[in-house]
Structure 1
Amino acid sequence: MTDPDNPQGTPRICPIDPTTQALAVRGLTKSYGDAIVVDNINLDIPKGAIYGIVGPNGAGKTTMLSMATGLLRPNRGSAWISGFNVWEEPNHAKKEMGLLADGLPIFDRLTGKELLVYVGAIRGLDEQLVDQRSNELLNALGLEDAAGKRIVDYSAGMTKKILLAQALIHNPKVLILDEPLEAVDPVSGRLIQQILRNFAQAGGTVVLSSHVMELVEGLCDHVAIINKGVVEVAGHVDDVRQGSSLTDVFVDVVGGGALQEGSLSWLGLAEDQG
């Protein structure tokens, strides 16, 4: 848990060496004009964890992860992946991570197999190894029949799965996923969760953002709740929920969620169309 006597807005010296963590950020801040989106965030994600990042819409989750992975430059602060400073050692940091970022452009005129071959080549993998891993990923994710189909013709769920495959193909140490199960059917969702568990059990680290509390509670062993650009609470899932459900803790931390008495009282009432 975060120290309640030391709010995120107060600069402090973090006792954990960020280079020992799978992913760490220190003082990460992003603002647009007078609007502060991410406010001096400090966070440590240990190696081997399945770490959930949750928060309401507009809380700063995606912005924080974008800065932590080198997609967006912060106003101030630093980030490390597998001990490498993202902005000082970008090539080393990016080699260590696999990324599924929500909303980025996709090479959707390629087929699913072509995308994996292309990404594998960029990652410097041997052609034969890329072919083997591509076929295994396509089969594991139920995309073998769509391997020769252009991604532009994929459903939203299929697109999410091929993006997960391209994030995994080089066997990264840290897998960072923004809403990985959005639009994915329950069968594929369960399969993806098993892949992520196996990845973590083998020594990898999974960092995922999600709005689905049940997913985070059932899959993740650590969680951070971000609200209004700060980390409100972070730690092992059991320590965060303290016997309650993660949804209840989330609502307590973030606030809101209750309909005001009398609000929308007109719904369902028959109206005189006179």
Structure 2
Amino acid sequence: MIQFQNVTKSYSGDKKAVDQLNLTIPDGKIFGFLGPNGAGKSTTIKMLTGILPIDEGTITINSFDISKHPLEAKKTFGYVPDSPNMFLRLKGIEYLNFIGDVYDIPTDQRKEKIEYLTKEFGIYEVLNDAIQTYSHGMRQKVIVSGVLLHDPDVWILDEPLTGLDPKSSYKLKEMMREHARKGKTVFFSTHVLEVVEQLCDQVAIINNGKLEFTGQMDDMREKFNTEGSLEQLFLELTNHE
């Protein structure tokens, strides 16, 4: 479970990128996090993962405060950032073994998991090549494989489907569903609204740093008295000052 309590972040003093955010992401759900560019979505995710400090409020991940107990909190989650352009000089297998070392994954278990994940995503044959030679989609696949390697309870996925081919995208979505079915947490940010409608159990929409809505799709349609698509609802919620 992830909990945001009165979380605020400012960059220039006056302008609040995130303003008094209160949000609970429950276990056993795929939770979609939406917002237009500049709404505070990326700032929220960076505070959640400990990349940015929190100005006010608290964020807890499986009861660990990310500010007070960062190492304990970070051991419980896996994070796919919105850009896979990291560790480019390492070979794919070197990167995955580095992740295995960070999380103390036993060698035999690690080898088996690396083989399974990279075969699922179609990159097993290129693991001895440098990541800088990979396409964007292949880089995304090796980052996702690294995130899933230690089987974290909480998945924090920022645009994870970007650059994936249809087969790999389907595989990852099935893994997300299975993770949620096990009673674990999937926090999922995307711009592809059709994917949200197909995949997410609950959604939250942030705009101008404030939470506009949180709940199930049916709740949102009932609240706004419409049978329209998520795209129509999203535009209605965010197309105002």
**TM > 0.5:** yes
Instruction: Report the Cα distance in structure 2 between the residues aligned to 1:176 and 1:142, rounded to whole angstroms.
Output: 22
Query: Residue 56 of structure 1: SS of its match in structure 2?
Result: coil
**Structure 1 residues 184-223: Cα deviation after superposition (integer angstroms, max 9, x where no partner):** 2222211211111112112221101111100111011010
Q: Where in structure 1 do 4 or more consecutive aligned residues deviate above 4 Å?
A: none
Q: Note the C-alpha offset of 1:105.
A: 5.8
Match of 2:219 in 1: 239
Q: Note the C-alpha offset of 1:234.
A: 0.3
Counterpart residue type for residue 251 of structure 1: L
Residue number among 130, 155, 168 corresponding to 1:188 in the alignment: 168
Structural mapping, 1:25-44, within 5 Å: 25-33=4-12, 34-44=14-24
Match of 1:133 in 2: 113
Query: Residue 86 of structure 2: SS of its match in structure 1?
Result: coil
Query: Residue 122 of structure 2: SS of its match in structure 1?
Result: coil
Structure with higher RCO (Cα < 8 A, 6+ apart):
2
Query: Residue 241 of structure 1: SS of its match in structure 2?
Result: helix
Q: Which structure: greater helix fraction? A: 2
Counterpart residue type for residue 230 of structure 2: L
Instruction: Report the Cα distance in structure 2 between the residues aligned to 1:163 and 1:104, rounded to whole angstroms.
Output: 6
Q: Note the C-alpha offset of 1:127.
A: 1.6
**Structure 1 residues 98-123: Cα deviation after superposition (integer angstroms, max 9, x where no partner):** 01112476111112122111101101
Instruction: Report the Cα distance in structure 2 between the residues aligned to 1:82 and 1:162, rounded to whole angstroms.
Output: 26
Question: Structure 1 unaligned runs (5+)?
Answer: 1-21, 257-274
Instruction: Report the Cα distance in structure 2 between the residues aligned to 1:147 and 1:202, rounded to whole angstroms.
Output: 30
Asked whether the 8 Å contact 2:84–2:143 carries over to 1, the reply is no
Match of 1:70 in 2: 50
**Structure 1 residues 124-175: Cα deviation after superposition (integer angstroms, max 9, x where no partner):** 1112211111111101111112211211111111111111111111100000
Asked whether the 8 Å contact 1:70–1:90 carries over to 2, the reply is yes
Question: Structure 2 unaligned runs (5+)?
Answer: none
- Are residues 1:252 and 2:231 paired? no
Instruction: Report the Cα distance in structure 2 between the residues aligned to 1:107 and 1:253, rounded to whole angstroms.
Output: 38
**Structure 1 residues 61-112: Cα deviation after superposition (integer angstroms, max 9, x where no partner):** 1100110121110111110001111111111111110011124761111121
- Are residues 1:156 and 2:152 paired? no
- Are residues 1:205 and 2:189 paired? no
Instruction: Report the Cα distance in structure 1 between the residues aligned to 2:194 and 2:84, rounded to whole angstroms.
Output: 26
Residues 187/104 of structure 1: CA separation in 2 closer, same or farther (3 Å cut): closer
Query: Residue 186 of structure 2: SS of its match in structure 1?
Result: strand
The Cα RMSD (Å) is 1.4
Structural mapping, 1:46-195, within 5 Å: 46-103=26-83, 106-195=86-175
